[in-house]
Chains A and B, each alone.
Chain A
Amino acid sequence: MRESCIELTKEQQAYRDGDAGLELQLATETLIRYGKAFSAERLVPIVSAHLAGSFAISAYSGYYELFDRLVAAGVRVRVPTTVNPHPGHDYSLPNRWLVFRRQEHHERQLERLGVMLNFSCVCYYEANVPRFGDILGWAESSAVIYANSVIGARTNRHSIMIDVCMAVTGWTPDFGLLQDEHRKGDVLVKLDVDEMDACAVGYLVGRRLVNKVPVLTHYPFDATELKNMGAAMAAAGGIGLFHVVGATPEAPTLDAVFHREPEETITITQQDLDALRLERSQQAEAGMIVFGCPQMTLEEVQQIGRHFVGKKVKRRVLFHVVPSALTQLRELPLHNQLIEAGVELYRHCPLASLSLRFGGGRILTPSGKLHYYLQDADYGNLDDALRIAGVR
């Protein structure tokens, strides 16, 4: 291997030399080699961490072995650290027995490592809210893109286990989206749409631009739209940062967000958005309508839930809600109104819980991320979803 060009502080050098124990030595070494691959010159402190690895997926074992090793050595997180959702093992027997049989053990280990058990991918909703300019060590692609784009905090798209290494050391290698020059716009995205569907925009931008920094022309997206749009960009593409002119903090104007001419300009049209939707004639075959990938916030449940009040669903309708938002929802009349309408309310991850299931038919979802990951989830916009659910 090439010589390290990473300059370490005294404390970092001590960790690397093993003064803090073998596990922290390896965690530090991991961050150094990882940073070196991207020509990082130093490890910098992080304000918080967010872990993506909340599901004990039985087909994989390396990550869980390492996690157990850290816990057995008494290692604890050094910065406030939140974690992704439950996989929903409590709701389906195949999931419980085949996919997530070590789930309870893994959740206990998360607690022993000192992780805040918020169990949500929308950690930035209330459990772990960064400020503009904060350096973070986050995993979970939808949270990373939101923190970078909508809040203006800085984190790379880190993987599972790298997130743990950052949480237990409190450092992250300085490269990529931590640096000003990588946060400027690459491609200008013009929106020529009559009926906005932020999720579909995100999906198409992810597909076409892969890993560029897109700059969308002004549109007054709300927080829910920004959350769902970013998640789709980070699933269909590898985007970690986007800007919307006049709406996100690092894009007050077009000039401010580009430091040179855009390398390309693309236009997303209404036709593009419509082409992503499942043919209307096939939509009726959907067995269930799934919302909440990323999980729904209280505002989102209220926005979408109002359509269900006083109605009865004609298909299974599943809402996946941030656990703390579900607790708040229980205090509101809307909670019982949704239950009376037949809406199922969950606090786990639809992507994990619905991946393996028997029967129940295909899924129709207005989530670009869920559409990408589930083999049998077709895309429909909010109107499609409500119509097939039988409430519009």
Chain B
Amino acid sequence: MRSFTGKPVLGGQAKGPALFTDQAVNFTAGFTKPQNLLPWKRSQFCDRHHPWCGEDLKGKVVFLPACIGSTHTGLVVLDLVRLGIGPAAIVVEDADPLLVSGAVLSEVWYGRGMPIVSCHIAQFAAAIKTGTIAEVNGDTGEVILRD
């Protein structure tokens, strides 16, 4: 078990398989492709410019450096969070307005939030392997990895 502490951005607790990328993520490009119209592909990430292309993000704790791209991000993240079909929690180096807004909208209007913690993510690159489980506490900023 390894423990890390970051800055709490949005509260709540979650646990799930850890997924790491050192490439910034475009949530709009990832989730608004024609295949995302299919009910069983709603949570499949489909941005051909990103190494996650083809990954299902549902229930995962995702580690990324930054969120990029369109201001449709909140529309996408709002549904991923309120319907429980997206990541369980997000650990991000630069918590930007787009990423945060989707989770805030879901929390305020639908009563279901998603923890977000901001911290240096390079330290996770070697620590996260296939099968690593991450626990995130969005109130304290604590991130725990278990193999």
- Bound pair (A, B): yes
Question: Is there contact, CB below 8 Å, between B109 and A60?
Answer: no
- Partner among B10, B66, B96, B101 whose Cβ is within 8 Å of the Cβ of A162: B101
Contacts of B48 in A (CB 8 A): 375
A337 at the interface (CB under 8 A from B): no
CB within 8 Å of B: which A33-77 residues: 33-34, 37-38, 52-53, 57-63, 66
B16-31 CB contact bits vs A (8 Å, 1 = yes)? Answer: 0000000010101100
Within 8 A of A (CB), among B131-147: 139
Q: Knowing A26-B109, A62-B82, A157-B98 touch, does A37 contact B104 (C-beta < 8 A)?
A: yes
In-complex Cβ contact of A33 among B32, B37, B49, B107 (8 A):
B107
Contact partner of B69 (CB less than 8 A), chosen from A66, A160, A234, is A234
What 1/0 mask marks residues of chain A from 354 to 383 whose CB sits below 8 Å from any chain B CB?
Answer: 011000000000000000110100000000
Partner of B42, one of A52, A59, A206, A210: A59
- Chain B residues within an 8 Å CB radius of A234: 69-70
- Establish whether residues A238 and B68, one from each chain, have CB atoms under 8 Å apart when the complex forms: yes
Task: Tell me whether B88 is interfacial, beta carbon within 8 Å.
Answer: no
Q: Is the CB of A66 within 8 A of B109?
A: yes
How many residue pairs between the two chains, A and B, have CB atoms under 8 Å in the bound complex? 150
Partner of B104, one of A33, A63, A157: A33
CA distance in complex: A235, B75 (Å): 16
Please report the C-alpha to C-alpha distance between residue A163 and residue B66 in the assembled complex, in whole angstroms.
Answer: 21
Do residues B107 and A211 form an inter-chain contact, with CB atoms below 8 A? no
| Known contacts A63-B78, A99-B37, A157-B96; is-contact A235 B24 (Cβ 8 Å) | no
Do B74 and A355 have beta carbons less than 8 Å apart? no
Main secondary structure on A side of the interface with B: loop
- Please name the residue on chain B nearest to A356 by beta carbon: B34
Q: CB within 8 A of A62: which of B10, B79, B98?
A: B79
User: Does the CB pair B110–A62 fall under 8 Å?
Assistant: yes
A214 to chain B, nearest CB (A): 14
Q: Are A58 and B37 in contact (CB under 8 A)?
A: yes
Q: Which residues of A contact B (CB under 8 A)?
A: 1-2, 26, 29-30, 33-34, 37-38, 52-53, 57-63, 66, 98-99, 139-141, 144, 156-163, 176, 206, 210-211, 234-238, 355-356, 372-373, 375
Given A66-B109, A157-B97, 7 new contacts (CB under 8 A): A2-B11, A38-B97, A57-B32, A60-B75, A98-B37, A157-B96, A162-B101
